[in-house]
Amino acid sequence: MTQQFPFDHHGISGGITVKLRDGLSLDDICMQNIDDYNRDRFEAVALRLFAGKEVIITIYVLDKHRQEGSNFDRDKLPVKKIKMENVSVSQLFEWFEEFNFTLGSGNYDIEDMEVFNK
């Protein structure tokens, strides 16, 4: 089966698993790095990392005060996008204890593969 990816990554895409340092949560990272981040109002739900000429961290936060209303699709989770620009790679390694990722060409789903040279 061919894997479908949401973005064109020039033929190589995948997923990543990150383990944060002991005692550190995504909300802790937000509290330390985003002015006016308030745990009573927000809940960090996702982190996107862009690394190229610059490093940009995008945090998606649930706004607990804006869960009701009619200005968003009720089948979707309304989140606010907060960008942290010019984050140093060394700062990322202060947050991450370890990370693991597999990138594929997109021609085959990794879940459909069987490794035979174990």
Digit-coded pLDDT (tens) for 51-83:
888 889 999 999 887 766 667 677 888 889 999
For residue 52, what are its two tokens?
């190229």
Per-residue pLDDT 10s for the chain (118 aa) are: 444 555 555 668 888 899 999 999 999 999 999 999 999 999 999 999 988 888 899 999 998 877 666 676 778 888 899 999 888 888 888 899 998 988 888 788 888 888 898 6
Could you give the CA distance from residue 35 to residue 41 in angstroms, rounded to a whole number? 13
pLDDT at residue number 87: 85
pLDDT at residue number 1: 47
Residue 89 phi, psi (nearest 5): -60, -35
Torsion on CA atoms 8, 13, 15, 19, rounded to nearest 10:
-110
Residues in the chain: 118
Q: Is the pTM of this model over 0.85?
A: no
Contacts of 55 (CB under 8 A, 6+ apart): 49, 86, 87, 88, 89, 92
DSSP string, 29-81: HHHHHSTT--TTTEEEEEEEEEESSSEEEEEEEEEGGGSSSSSS-TTS--EEE
